[in-house]
Amino acid sequence: MSSSGVEIRPMTPVISDDTVEELTNRLARSRMAHSPDQGWQLGAPATWLKELVADWQAFDFSELQARLGVMPHMTAQLGEQQVHFLHAVGMGPDPLPLVLTHGWPGSFLEYGELLPLLVDPGSHGGDPADAFTVVVPSLPGFGFSSPPPPSSLTASETAELWHRLMYEGLGYTRYAAHGSDLGAGVTAWLARNHPDAVGAIHLATPGLGAPPLPWTAPEQAHFAEVGAWQAEEGGYAHQHATKPATVAAALLDSPAGLAAWVGEKVVAWSSTAPDGLPSFPRRLLLDTLTLYWSSETIGTSLMPYWTYRHRANAALPADNPPLVPTAISIFGGERAPFPKPPRQLAERYFRVTSWVEHDVGGHFPAVSEPELLAQALRQAFRALRDRPPE
């Protein structure tokens, strides 16, 4: 399918038998640390990592392939960049187009439980009038999307790809957008660059840069907390932003290393389930690791951090917010809590029309609390459905 030069085609992802065989062989030869566990204070504990590697070695890859096979996969050729995306058509009287953008170390897979709630609310205890037609792109260099150019892409440049996909490729002249983590940055730039097409946005616990001085007392307290968090928890981000190729060489070659690097963050950033375990299911973690390994994208997935640090004008500008209505949900409950921004800081970047704080959901609310996030998205975008035709 072609529209305005954007080529869109269906696709069927395949994890080859050769890839599975090589992966299981490498997992079997993993070399593990012999030091005693000291909890999570040193990073991934040896016992936990051994169990994760053993689970990955015993993983049913054919079952993952079957689940991938029933998802609505598409690709869009946007100039030199090929973008993989899911396209799920809403089941309701007038579904609202909605683009969801994931972060790191995530993927389109984290929206598996959320998608049915958004696409077909009538079958899940909701109102069919709240149905969305959902588009879930994989960030450039993630999953089945092609790598970005050598200089990578800023969040603003990725937002341009998303707009071309939604507006030119799929024909959605007006749509809504949601994002978390890196995806919150892309979503913010969508609102800034295309306010005529983006009717409203929703952000999940966005990370906000330091605006120009002066700062209010809550802003000062927040950035002091950010500094302390970065010193204790932010080593991964500093490595991604300064020498991504070095760590990528190790992670691309060692599945055990990949499991430690990604898995430790999933555990640290997830909220806790009633059984005391991370609310990010083990199977989804193994799915995610398999996706990163089989697509060989862990290296390119680190590049947005480098780009943010090294490309001019990569940061979202403060004190000139676009007029696009912005709903923000602050999720919490992580084992290693993220600093939560104050509303007045967010108002230097957005026209905040809704601000809700939750003590659950963590860094992956679509995984941990899909019902809660679905309700937040329905509420955030309900006013768009009442907008008279232009």
Looking at 168-182, 271-285, 367-381, which range is the least confident one? 271-285
Q: 214: cis peptide before it, omega within 30°? A: yes
Decide if pLDDT at 194 tops 70: yes
Torsion of CA 141, 145, 149, 155, to 10 degrees: -70
Which CATH homologous superfamily contains domain 2-27+43-385? Alpha/Beta hydrolase fold, catalytic domain (3.40.50.1820)
pLDDT band at 388 (very low <50, low <70, confident <90, very high): very low
Say what percent of the chain tops pLDDT 90. 93
How far is 338 from 265, CA to CA, in rounded Å? 12
pLDDT band at 4 (very low <50, low <70, confident <90, very high): low
Give mean pLDDT, residues 198-220.
Answer: 97
Question: How confident is the model over 121-166, as pLDDT tens digits?
Answer: 999 999 999 999 999 999 999 999 999 999 899 999 999 999 999 9
| Predicted pLDDT of residue 5 | 81
Q: In what order do the strands lie in the sheet with 73-78?
A: 2-3, 6-10, 73-78, 81-88, 132-137, 96-101, 175-180, 198-204, 325-332, 351-361
Q: Which helix (H) or strand (E) holds 134?
A: strand 132-137
Mean pLDDT of the chain: 95
pLDDT band at 201 (very low <50, low <70, confident <90, very high): very high
Question: How confident is the model over 337-370, as pLDDT tens digits?
Answer: 999 999 999 999 999 999 999 999 999 999 999 9
Give mean pLDDT, residues 272-301.
Answer: 96
pTM reported for the whole predicted model: 0.96
Q: Which helix (H) or strand (E) holds 166?
A: none
Asked if 139 and 295 count as a contact pair (C-beta separation under 8 A), the reply is: no
Give mean pLDDT, residues 28-57.
Answer: 91
**Could you tell me which of 70, 42, 327, 59 has the C-alpha nearest to residue 179?**
327
Amino acid at 84: H
Give mean pLDDT, residues 168-178.
Answer: 97
| Predicted pLDDT of residue 390 | 40
Decide if pLDDT at 28 tops 70: yes
